[in-house]
Chains A and B, each alone.
Chain A
Amino acid sequence: MSLKIETRFGRIRVERRVGYGRLYSISMTLLSLALAFLVVALILASLGLDPVKAFQVIFGVFMKPSLLLESIKQSIPICLAALGLSIAFKMNFWNIGAEGQIYMGMIASTGIVLLHAYYGFFHEWMVMPLMFLASFLLGGAWCLIPGALKARLGVNEILPTLMLNYVAILIVDFLVHGPWRDPKGYGFPLSIPFPEYTKLNIVLGEPAYTGLLFSILGAAAVFFLLEYTKLGFEIKVVGQSPAVARYAGIRVRSTILLGSFLAGGLAGIGGLSIVSGIIGRLRPGASPGYGYTAIIVAALAGLNPWVTVAVSIFFGGLITAGGALQMSMGIPKAAAQMIQAVIFLMILVGEFIKRYRIVIERPGASER
């Protein structure tokens, strides 16, 4: 990226930094966080709230075990979706549709649970594996639609992936208002609550631990795929240049199909982690935008799977902090979201400044 703005006073230029130290990187992140908290403090003060107390709540999220567990729980769908996105983005496949793929994953998991609960299909022990399989397949299939459009017809993936989000969200609405509504739910648009053996709590009976395990397994899988498999190599070549990939004899179309399927599949399992780990049933709006947050996470993590896990937990913490602020201080929901947004924004700007340098040059030739 290079950008130049000419002004009367000189030229403002944005340059990529050639390389920067770790210390610089960390201190920039801390600085942008500090700035974020400063802005947040101003917002809170203007609302007549005590910033110090609010910060105690926000930091408390990362100190108090129960809230930390909640943060990790919130991070699971974000992390799995972001891992999928790192595959897609490596392939230069701009999947904006992780949100929709998450919803399809929720539908698939819920479908398996209902098949078992209503019709008695499968043994109890088979339900959980089948939920994984189904959510992976359906999430993958959802991403395969724009993937196939791109591979076959050369359709740009951004709009189809984005628009399929709304379709998926509306399908969930339809199901919980209609055929999948809990008969004992007093007419609320909710599925039946999931039975205990379909909950994501196989590790120490705690969804956060179980989910963290899956996040780490997912990161390992994505890392392994990209670094050590033929498919991973092909995905990266296609992402760098489809023309070179063709020249190298790589089947570009099948690579795009497989890559987009895997990306959607991981987001689908992210959907499973919501219904089976966080909420315990299907309801409208079950994902408050995890799929979009995942885009930011994948980008901030530089598409590195291991970093993705850590960044996801931080963002999970911010979501948890929003909830905690609402409850303990009566801060309105919108204000809590605004605080999150300010922090996102500052980190993004900080990352930008980390990678680029802004140069101002004075105009005019000087003859000495």
Chain B
Amino acid sequence: MEKLVELRGIVKRFPGVVANDRVDFELRRGEVHALLGENGAGKTTLMNILYGLYKPDEGEIYVRGKRVELRSPRDAISLGIGMVHQNFRLVESHTVLENIILGLREDGLRIDFEKHRRRIIELSERYGWKIDPMARIWQLSAGEKQQVELLKILYRGAEILILDEPTSVLTVQETRRLFEALRRMAREGKGIIFITHKLNEVMEVSDRVTVMRRGRVVITKETRETTKAELANYMIGRPIVFGQKKASAQLGAVVLKVIDLKVLGDRGYPAVNGVSLEVRRGEILGIAGVSGNGQVELAEAIAGLRKPLAGRILLNGVDATGMDAGKMIELGVAYIPPEGNKLGIVPGFRVVDNLFLKAYRYPPYSNKLLLNWGKMLEKARELIEEFGIVTPSALSRASSLSGGNIQRLILARELSGIIGGIPRLIVAAYPTKGLDIGATEFVHDLLLRYKEMGSGIIFISEDLEELLLLSDRIAVMSGGRIRGVLAREEADAEKIGLLMSEAVVQAG
């Protein structure tokens, strides 16, 4: 089969790290080739080299058998290479059509919008998408924006497609639709490189898989000749156990009681619309549902970041409705926010500053006026050790940490008890999103450990597998309401899916 791309002996060094160490990689016509690896394994660097964003320090790039030198993405595009980045690069206030033809040089002074419109519709229908070329980007869902990104590169005639963790922003349904489109593109003779760290997706969509670890290629294999367990082993360098985790903990008194809570969302309508729930000591209450159905608003209300419109929040029997975040922290609420790298840390601050972002104002780390850096640094070094945060020192900037380490930092801050003992209630919103297997396992184990120690835990996730793995009960949320609560024994993916879809019918 024809080789669309061949990379030979690629080396790319950044100050202090070798991101790619003599990497060989090839992409054939008509295949979906998964590039698998943990965060920081060098996948994105390698693809940025192929897309002309980085210049390799050593190595050769061949496209359709010819050696090329890529000085910029423009060179890559002219060779039929297209890349969809993790975060979209679209002009929000422009239409789909304007975004797609932006930078296109085939027209002269006058742009033939009608021609482009027809061609865009034709192209999107080919992959089963319903994209209105005149819609504005901000009106689209994440899945649709991604389709626009793909259309943008397909429209330029790309046959080598690079997708960087394309499913991280998608719902289950959108993911399925994306995979169908990718299979179709492969049948048409395009080559697709699919960057991911999710094993399920590799098994589901790819023909071949290349595994990277610490900047090197570990192996390239036909997908059907391998298994999840084997890939995981290659990826993290040790075997991993799949299956149920049990932590037995006595359910104790009610820690949190939420009664008929209503909370406004950012757009000014109620995002949480009458939620009642209860969490006991030593219990993990999972909250399932497609994201954007009020889960984050619920979490923020409990964390004191959003004032409830109506209803009540009781913490250990004390009415905490409408208290601010500072008060909630003092009442023992730990909040692990979604997208920790945005809301959970200050990237420009040092690790120690971020660890003490909340605890700095309590003794022994400060008195009425002054900070005690000595105490903070000492404790920070302990926490770095205990939570396995990989950082050159407590004084390094948090922005230099990888996603998994940022999450460890946040967990250390929230859970380690520096704010006044073990948290009574932990609200964890998508704590494993975007993390690799190793880091995900760490988060799971940690939550189970705190469950055993008697914290009540609200665990919000989109991933049914991990919900079933950890939760004692699972509440299914959609449209700002709890549609049903299932005990772990009776819960399965089908029942949860049913509750979600019932809600859709009701709402629709």
Contact = CB atoms under 8 A, between A and B. Distances in A.
Given A237-B346, A237-B357, A368-B69, A247 B78 contact: no
Interface residues of B, number: 40
A250 B76 CA distance: 47
A243 B70 CA distance: 40
A18 B400 CA distance: 13
A365 B63 CA distance: 12
A246 B304 CA distance: 9
B373 A247 contact: no
Interface in B342-362: 343-346, 348-349, 353, 357-358, 360-361
Contact of A243 (B15, B343, B357): B343
A131 to B, nearest CB: 26
Nearest to B356: A233
Nearest to A248: B357
B326 A365 contact: no
A362 B75 CA distance: 11
A247 B345 CA distance: 10
Nearest to B367: A230
A368 B68 contact: yes
Contact of B345 (A236, A244, A363): A244
Interface string A193-206: 00000000000000
A363 B70 CA distance: 10
A367 B69 CA distance: 7
B361 A367 contact: no
A365 B369 contact: no
Given A241-B346, A244-B346, A361-B71, A249 B358 contact: yes
A233 B66 contact: no
A7 interface: no
A11 interface: yes
Nearest to A249: B326
Given A18-B15, A237-B357, A240-B348, A228 B305 contact: no
B324 interface: yes
B366 interface: yes
A229 interface: yes
Given A230-B361, A364-B75, A247 B335 contact: yes
A18 B74 CA distance: 25
Contact of A230 (B329, B343, B344, B370): B370
Contact of B370 (A229, A236, A237, A241): A229
Contacts of A46: none
B358 A230 contact: no
B371 A229 contact: yes
B3 interface: no
A355 to B, nearest CB: 15
Contacts of B345: 244
B126 interface: no
A287 B40 CA distance: 55
Interface string A240-279: 1101101111110000000000000000000000000000
B249 interface: no
A240 B329 contact: no
A18 B16 CA distance: 13
B67 A367 contact: yes
B74 A363 contact: yes
B175 to A, nearest CB: 29
Given A244-B345, A361-B72, A249 B324 contact: yes
A265 B71 CA distance: 53
A11 B72 contact: yes
Given A237-B346, A361-B71, 15 more contacts: A18-B15, A230-B370, A230-B371, A233-B371, A241-B346, A244-B346, A246-B305, A247-B305, A248-B357, A249-B328, A251-B326, A364-B71, A364-B75, A365-B71, A367-B67
22 contacts: A228-B370, A229-B371, A230-B366, A237-B349, A240-B346, A240-B348, A244-B344, A244-B345, A244-B346, A247-B325, A249-B324, A249-B327, A251-B324, A361-B71, A363-B74, A365-B70, A365-B71, A365-B76, A366-B69, A367-B66, A367-B68, A367-B69
